[in-house]
């Protein structure tokens, strides 16, 4: 993961290469809370692939990059 200040910063860093998926820090925070927020619960159990995919979709992270195998 790399953090960038702007789309222009990303373009400079890529140097003409095709970018992968990019999300804002705010969206990354949403994802982290949704993905890891229940880990300290005494009732915690690992998420299924379907539950994880539902988290991504609920946050609007869709498309080939966000499709879990």
Q: Tens digit of pLDDT for each residue in 22-33? A: 999 999 999 999
Q: Please give the tally of structural domains in the chain.
A: 1
Q: In terms of C-beta distances under 8 Å and separation of at least 24 residues, what long-range contacts does 61-66 make, across chains too?
A: 61/21, 61/23, 61/27, 61/31, 63/21, 65/20, 65/21, 66/21
In a domain, 15, yes or no: no
In a domain, 48, yes or no: yes
Of the listed ranges 1-5, 14-18, 28-32, 62-66, the least confidently predicted one is 1-5
The residue segments making up the domain with residue 40 are: 23-69
| Mean pLDDT score of the chain | 95
In a domain, 47, yes or no: yes
In a domain, 9, yes or no: no
| pTM metric for this prediction | 0.82
2-6 mean pLDDT? 91
In a domain, 2, yes or no: no
In a domain, 69, yes or no: yes
């Amino acid at each position: 993961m790399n953090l960038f200040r702007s789309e222009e910063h990303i373009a400079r860093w890529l140097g003409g290469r095709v970018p992968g998926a990019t999300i804002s820090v705010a969206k990354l925070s949403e994802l982290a809370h949704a993905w890891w927020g229940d880990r300290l619960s005494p009732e915690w159990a690992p998420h299924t692939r379907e539950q994880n995919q539902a988290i991504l979709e609920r946050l609007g992270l869709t498309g080939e990059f966000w499709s879990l195998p």
